[in-house]
């Protein structure tokens, strides 16, 4: 009797083990449980809350795609104008006048290349642009006006968004002032009239600057050479806007005088002022150091990242 109970007990255990083995083999062969779970989730999918990073990404992409489709529908009239644009300054003036526009990948790269490095990073970092240019299906760039801001979308040929950013009103103003032409000589422009230098003196004194800093002051020497003898004086603004200070080049010919304005980083301007006004060098150096210290405290900068000016 005792032996029979023991055999019965082991027989039950053996049957359960065989059943589990068969179920495991069946699952491994046909993925039965996985398919059942998948069918259940698919059936319940519409009623599940749409939360999580994937849903957020999809919603943003759908919203952006909707904006892009609206832009595409209204692009025909401004397309030819956008193709003739050679600077971001012209581009944002066109956006202000016509609204949303799109340009090709190559045209965007060309426009960004013409900006100073620090200013070009308002859009996307040069490394991001380089990576997307060679390793993605980036096809066009859309500029979508939203109130005082402009949303910039890098998209592929199917209008899928690869990368996006938004620039605010202050940044747009900064870009639109780059290369601005004022139909007045320097001494009639309030912000320049107290800091005007003959062009020969300006270039002579900046010869003492190190090559790296000087190259950032004269970002496009070919442009200055094109002006030739028309370039008479250089003025430096007394005002800083969002960390940038304007520098004006006065051009004169037989018919008119005008000032062409560009933006330079304020740290770089203080270094320039050290060489233009040696007697006040300690004043500008102290001001530059104070600004760097304030920005380090404000943004948490460490090491030498704020000294690259």
Beta strands in the chain (DSSP E): 101-104, 138-146, 149-156, 161-167, 180-182, 196-198, 231-241, 244-252, 257-265
Which residue, chain included where needed, has tokens 């979508």? Answer: 144
Q: What does the pLDDT read at residue 211?
A: 86
Phi and psi angles of residue 31, each rounded to the nearest 5 degrees, phi first: 50, 45
| Residues facing residue 144 across a β-bridge | 151
Domain boundaries, the chain: 53-174, 179-298
Q: How far apart are the first and last CA of the chain?
A: 97
Helix axes 88-98, 105-113, angle to 10 degrees: 120
CA–CA separation, 233 vs 183, rounded Å? Answer: 15
Sign of CA dihedral 147, 154, 125, 266: negative
Q: Is there a contact between 280 and 273 (Cβ–Cβ < 8 Å)?
A: yes
Q: What does the pLDDT read at residue 54?
A: 46
Does the predicted model carry a pTM greater than 0.75? no
> Mind listing the pLDDT tens digit for each residue in 79-131?
555 677 778 888 888 888 888 888 888 889 888 887 776 677 788 888 888 88
| Residues facing residue 142 across a β-bridge | 102, 153
Q: Is there a contact between 274 and 267 (Cβ–Cβ < 8 Å)?
A: no
Give, as one character, the DSSP assignment of residue 74.
T
CA–CA separation, 139 vs 104, rounded Å? Answer: 7
Q: What does the pLDDT read at residue 200?
A: 93
List the chain residues with pLDDT less than 50: 54-55, 57-58, 62, 76-77, 298-299, 301-309
Q: What does the pLDDT read at residue 309?
A: 40
Does an H or E element contain 288, and which? Answer: helix 281-299
Q: What does the pLDDT read at residue 292?
A: 53
> Mind listing the pLDDT tens digit for each residue in 37-75?
666 666 665 555 555 554 454 455 545 555 555 555 555
Q: What does the pLDDT read at residue 57?
A: 45
């Amino acid at each position: 009797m005792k032996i029979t109970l023991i055999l019965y007990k082991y027989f039950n255990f053996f049957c359960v083990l065989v059943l589990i083995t068969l179920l495991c083999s069946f699952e491994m062969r046909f993925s039965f449980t996985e398919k059942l779970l998948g069918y259940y989730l698919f059936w319940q999918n519409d009623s599940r809350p749409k939360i999580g990073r994937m849903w957020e990404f999809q919603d943003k992409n759908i919203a952006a795609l909707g904006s892009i489709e609206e832009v595409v529908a209204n692009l025909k009239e401004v397309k030819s104008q956008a193709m003739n644009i050679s600077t971001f300054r012209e581009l944002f003036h066109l956006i202000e006048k016509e609204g949303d526009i799109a340009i090709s990948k190559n045209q965007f790269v060309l426009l960004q290349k013409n900006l100073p490095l620090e200013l070009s990073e308002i859009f996307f970092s040069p490394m991001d642009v380089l990576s997307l240019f060679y390793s993605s299906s980036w096809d066009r760039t859309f500029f979508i006006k939203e109130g005082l801001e402009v949303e910039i979308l890098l998209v592929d040929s199917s209008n899928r968004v690869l990368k996006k950013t938004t620039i605010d009103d202050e940044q747009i103003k900064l870009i639109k002032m780059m290369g601005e032409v004022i139909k007045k000589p320097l001494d009639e422009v309030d912000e320049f009239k107290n800091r005007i230098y003959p062009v020969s003196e300006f270039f002579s004194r900046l010869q003492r600057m190190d090559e790296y800093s000087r190259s950032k002051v004269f970002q496009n020497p070919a442009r200055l050479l094109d002006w030739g003898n028309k370039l008479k004086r250089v003025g430096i603004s007394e005002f800083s806007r969002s960390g940038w200070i304007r520098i004006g080049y006065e051009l004169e010919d037989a018919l008119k005088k005008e000032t062409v304005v560009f933006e330079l980083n304020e740290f770089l301007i203080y270094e320039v002022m050290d060489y233009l006004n040696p007697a006040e060098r300690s004043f500008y150096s102290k001001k530059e150091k104070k600004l760097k210290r304030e920005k380090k405290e404000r943004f948490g900068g460490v090491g030498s990242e704020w000294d690259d000016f």
